[in-house]
Amino acid sequence: MKKLGKGLSCASDKEVIGELVFIKTVQDVIALFDNAKGRICAVEDAGTTTLGPILQDLSGVICTTGGSGSHLAIVSREYDLPCIMALDMKPKKLKSLDGKNVKIVTKDDNLGILYLVDD
């Protein structure tokens, strides 16, 4: 596994693996309505409510902005969903991982690490 970046772990102490899906629009979420199960969604906006309809099916969420008080972090805690906020990765690089298997590792010390599972 290759370490891709780190950020603030805001929700769960779980480790999860799933296919990364980069979400930019509401249409991207709609496209996942029937197949969100097990996916890890990546977004740029920490205040997003776009993921609401599919959150219960996701394995994790990643955001390049925000912190523990951001809407996405708060809702992720409610779902006990692994969440990394303020990931130290440019959105363009994160988007290039769309469709790849990644792993979220969250630690007790509020550290979240993103790994690439396959090349």
Do residues 107 and 94 touch, judged by C-beta distance below 8 A? no
Average pLDDT, the chain: 90
- Domain 2-116 CATH superfamily: Phosphohistidine domain (3.50.30.10)
* Number of CB atoms found within 10 A of residue 77's CB: 14
Per domain, the residue ranges of the chain are 2-116
- Count, residues in the chain: 119
pTM above 0.85, yes or no: yes
Tokens describing residue 5: 């970046």
Residue 50 pLDDT grade (very low, low, confident, very high; cuts 50, 70, 90): confident
Query: Is residue 22 classed exposed, middle or buried when 0-12, 13-18 and 19+ CB atoms within 10 A define those classes?
Result: middle
First to last CA, the chain: 9
Say whether pLDDT at 119 is over 70: no
Q: Taking 90 as the threshold, does the pLDDT of residue 49 lie above it?
A: no
With a cut of 80, say whether residue 46 has pLDDT above it.
no
